[in-house]
Homo-oligomer: A and B are copies of this chain.
Amino acid sequence: MKHYLSLKDIDSLDNWVEEARDLKEDPRKHKNLGSDKTIGLLFFNNSLRTRLSTQKAAMNLGLDVIVMNFGSEGWALEYADGTVMDQGTSEHIKEAAQVISQYCDIVAIRAFAGLQNKEEDEAEKVLNGFKKYASVPTVNMESSVGHPLQALADAITLAEQNTKARPKVVLSWAPHPKALPHAVANSFVEMMHLQDADFVITHPEGYELNPEITKSTTIEYDQKKACENADFIYVKNWSSYSDYGKVLNQDKNWTMTPEKVGNAKFMHCLPVRRNMVVADAVLDGDQSLVIEQANNRTYAAQIVLKKILEQ
């Protein structure tokens, strides 16, 4: 059974991006592919782009859509094996996942990192619980450690905008008042590893991402130097990975500015805090791709659902 849990579930990124761009030309072309089938979108966390674009993608394919805010509308789930459930949790993931599989042909899950406990977050108990116990394909709508629908949308955007054989792409950390997960950055890095590019990550010391994900990617601690001659600069905040979930600083010298951007295209997954993560002048300028990235979320979700429906 084909899931979409991480970038690893893409057999050929180039082909998927190409097919997604075809879908973008005629989004309702396959409007009967999902006929008489239902997708369940289960949100354990808030969402704007993912919520709307995944619904839109599903409707483009003719799927019936059920949306559920699991936290407020359902029951508190238990994930541990063998527990005596005499406390706060009302239903085990074993039953929940099997039951939802009775009503949905595809289930999509959003469940963020709690950022309190690295091992717990990396265990991906919600997503992996559904993968393990559901009898239908599972789609990751952002989990503790990855956001592969965002990364696929970003790959589409890069493909649309890139004019070079080997562009220089920079992933830059930026300051933020709250502790944010690593999911978007992780998946962007994994996606870049599937591209031919001069890829550089820049962040203050202490903000190194999981080395098992970054592998041998160049890390440049001098943001200005990292951004020199970049073709694309992807900005994102994340909390510390080594000092897990902590905000080590909010240094506004790392806010992205027109000067640092230079002639590069600017990318961000949104939502973005203006003048903290990035200056108004960048977001409001012609080099910003953020709205097109959001638009491509639809076609990223749509190619994923199409692949699942066609298996």
Interface, chain A (partner B; CB < 8 A): 28, 31, 36, 38, 40, 43, 46-49, 51-53, 55-56, 59, 64, 66, 68-69, 72-75, 78, 81-87, 89-92, 94-96, 98-100, 102-104, 177, 250, 270-276, 280, 283-284, 290-291, 294-295, 297-298
Query: In the bound complex, what is the Cα–Cα distance between A110 and B283 (angstroms)?
Result: 27
Q: A66-B56, A177-B87 are in contact. Are A82 and B51 (CB under 8 A)?
A: no
Q: A31-B36, A74-B48 are in contact. Are A291 and B99 (CB under 8 A)?
A: yes
Residues of the B chain whose Cβ atoms lie less than 8 Å from the Cβ of A73: 43, 46-48, 51, 69
Query: In the bound complex, what is the Cα–Cα distance between A24 and B291 (angstroms)?
Result: 39
Residues of the B chain whose Cβ atoms lie less than 8 Å from the Cβ of A280: 81-82
Query: In the bound complex, what is the Cα–Cα distance between A7 and B152 (angstroms)?
Result: 44
Residues of the B chain whose Cβ atoms lie less than 8 Å from the Cβ of A96: 48, 271
Query: In the bound complex, what is the Cα–Cα distance between A7 and B78 (angstroms)?
Result: 33
Q: Are B38 and A56 in contact (CB-based, < 8 A)? A: yes
Residues of the B chain whose Cβ atoms lie less than 8 Å from the Cβ of A59: 38, 64
Smallest CB-CB separation from A177: which chain B residue?
B86
Q: A31-B36, A272-B91 are in contact. Are A298 and B102 (CB under 8 A)?
A: yes
Residues of the B chain whose Cβ atoms lie less than 8 Å from the Cβ of A48: 68, 73-75, 91, 96, 99-100
How many Å from the CB of A130 to the closest CB on chain B? 14
Q: Are A291 and B98 in contact (CB-based, < 8 A)? A: yes
Q: Are B102 and A270 in contact (CB-based, < 8 A)? A: no
12 A–B contacts from the bound complex (CB under 8 Å) = A31-B36, A48-B75, A51-B74, A52-B99, A52-B104, A59-B64, A83-B275, A85-B275, A90-B271, A92-B272, A95-B283, A98-B294
How many Å from the CB of A113 to the closest CB on chain B? 17
Query: In the bound complex, what is the Cα–Cα distance between A298 and B40 (angstroms)?
Result: 15
Query: In the bound complex, what is the Cα–Cα distance between A282 and B241 (angstroms)?
Result: 41
Q: Are A291 and B95 in contact (CB-based, < 8 A)? A: yes
Q: A102-B295, A273-B86, A276-B86 are in contact. Are A46 and B74 (CB under 8 A)?
A: yes
Q: Are A55 and B66 in contact (CB-based, < 8 A)? A: yes
Query: In the bound complex, what is the Cα–Cα distance between A28 and B82 (angstroms)?
Result: 39
How many Å from the CB of A98 to the closest CB on chain B? 5
Query: In the bound complex, what is the Cα–Cα distance between A102 and B48 (angstroms)?
Result: 12
Q: Are A84 and B49 in contact (CB-based, < 8 A)? A: no
- Known contacts A55-B103, A96-B271; can you find 19 more A-B pairs with CB under 8 A? A46-B72, A47-B73, A47-B74, A48-B100, A52-B99, A56-B104, A69-B72, A75-B271, A82-B280, A84-B275, A84-B276, A85-B276, A86-B276, A89-B273, A91-B272, A92-B272, A95-B270, A95-B283, A102-B294
